[in-house]
Structure 1
Amino acid sequence: MLERCTSGRELALSRPFVEYNARRYAAGRRECGLALRTVLKVIRRCGAPSEEYYPYDDAAVEGHPDAFAYSFQRSFRALRYLRLDDGQASGDVVLGRVRSFLAAGFPVTFGFSLHRSLADDGEIWFPKKRDSVVGGQAVVAVGYHDHVHLGSDRGALLVRNSWGHEWGDGGYGWLSYAYVTRRLATDYWTLIKRSWLRSGGLERPRPLT
């Protein structure tokens, strides 16, 4: 998305390449699961080819990336990643930060709790008290709307999920602001590169509060 905004070309990073290297890094540090910071760190350190050069089919056959897949490393070294939440910021403050970066053109990735009531229609309502947690999921927020109604809640983030085009509207859906303000979502990160700001395709986000 960012490359499309700033250079006019679409860049879909190879998901199996990123996952392979992130799992290797996490195993070396004895991490449980894959933290979003680990994934972003691996992208900056190892780079990533586009998915057309290293798709899921090749990954399943080869088992590990070849030297060519690592040849894109240099172009990713200028990336910086920034966390938007911390232990002291309230949910309302975090939501303000997320909206600020989205308004400036920067996507924000984060994780949230999956509840049993979640449907495939792309509307992620804030769960009821007796709705059990069945896992967790990471998504990328690419926009927001203050007047979308999900149940009794108003306002939602437009998110891209990793469950394929069958979920929601071609893989996109709405997640209630209440997930952010009431802390059922956490670990918010975005990527920054100076050249993106110089290009004029993105705005400078407001300072964090």
Structure 2
Amino acid sequence: MIPEIKITHDLRHLFGPARDQGPRPTCLAFAASDTHAGTRPGWDPLSCEFAFWRAQQRGRRPPSSGATLGHMLDAIRLDGQPHEAGWPYLPATPVDVANWTPPAALGPIFGREGHEVVASFATAQAHLASGAPVMLLMMLSPSFFTPAAGGLIVPAPGEAPQPAVRHAVIGVASGQVGGEASILVRNSWGAGWGVDGHAWLTEAFVTPRLFALAILGGDVVAPLYSKAA
């Protein structure tokens, strides 16, 4: 039996269908890109590939590693992103790093302020109540991979966070599940995960696993990208 779900604040209307990062370590690029796109008028996905590329350049990290939150926020703010069509997402991790570069013509570039906030369930709830989606960076555990009916994450008794298994998602709604304060997250594992790519996490699940929280703010003017630069 699925517990009663009461939704208090729901921002799913800001987003289009959940996207799929595939096997690449790009969850933070998807979380940041979709949060960015969700704060713009209408839904027009932004290039995860460009955001990930710039974050990895800034951090001097290879495309086979995940990005850091600081470098990703800097990339969105200082470098911006084109629309997804400007540099479509690559299905496999680039092997020839020297040739992992954007197309010459990307189209318009959009930048946005962003910063870390206190990493707590209450902070996430407060931002959702204000109409702002939030990026949650969490340690995972087995139950996250197989949401139960209704898109509920139900951990087994004694299930503990796995510090080495980290992931980024977007908080897009808040409410109660079976009387417990909960947040609905948008994942980047495609529509087949949870309910259309979304699942509910209770406060008891989130609190011991959450290690960072970030939000995006207002538009900023990003420099026009030049392949020759």
Task: Provide the residue aligned with 1:65 in structure 2.
Answer: 102
- Following superposition, the deviation at residue 123 of structure 1 comes to 2.3
Structure 2: distance between partners of 1:187 and 1:124? 20
* Partner deviation per Cα, 1:135-191 (whole Å, 9 max, x = no partner): 11110101111x213xxx7121111111111101111111111234x3311210001
Structure 2: distance between partners of 1:42 and 1:176? 31
Task: Provide the residue aligned with 2:24 in structure 1.
Answer: none
Name stretches of at least 5 consecutive residues in structure 2 with no aligned partner.
1-13, 15-35, 221-229
Alignment RMSD (CA, Å) = 3.0
Is 1:104–2:127 an aligned residue pair?
A: no
Task: Provide the residue aligned with 2:223 in structure 1.
Answer: none
Name stretches of at least 5 consecutive residues in structure 1 with no aligned partner.
87-93, 196-209
- Following superposition, the deviation at residue 51 of structure 1 comes to 1.1
Q: How does 1:124-139 map to 2 (within 5 A)?
A: 124-126=153-155, 128-131=157-160, 133=162, 135-139=165-169
Structure 2: distance between partners of 1:130 and 1:83? 28
- Residues 170 and 179 of structure 1, relative CA distance in 2, 3 Å threshold: same
TM-score by length of 1: 0.70
Task: Provide the residue aligned with 2:140 in structure 1.
Answer: 114
From 46, 53, 56, the equivalent of 1:23 is 56
Task: Provide the residue aligned with 1:183 in structure 2.
Answer: 208
Amino acid at match of 2:158: K
Amino acid at match of 1:161: N
Asked which structure has the greater RCO (Cα within 8 Å, sep 6+), the reply is 2
- Following superposition, the deviation at residue 66 of structure 1 comes to 2.5
Task: Provide the residue aligned with 1:162 in structure 2.
Answer: 188
TM-score by length of 2: 0.65
Structure 1: distance between partners of 2:198 and 2:91? 26
- Residues 21 and 3 of structure 1, relative CA distance in 2, 3 Å threshold: closer
Residue-pair matches, total = 175
Please identify which structure carries the higher helix content. 1
From 13, 26, 46, the equivalent of 2:46 is 13
SS at match of 1:169: coil
Structure 2: distance between partners of 1:40 and 1:101? 18
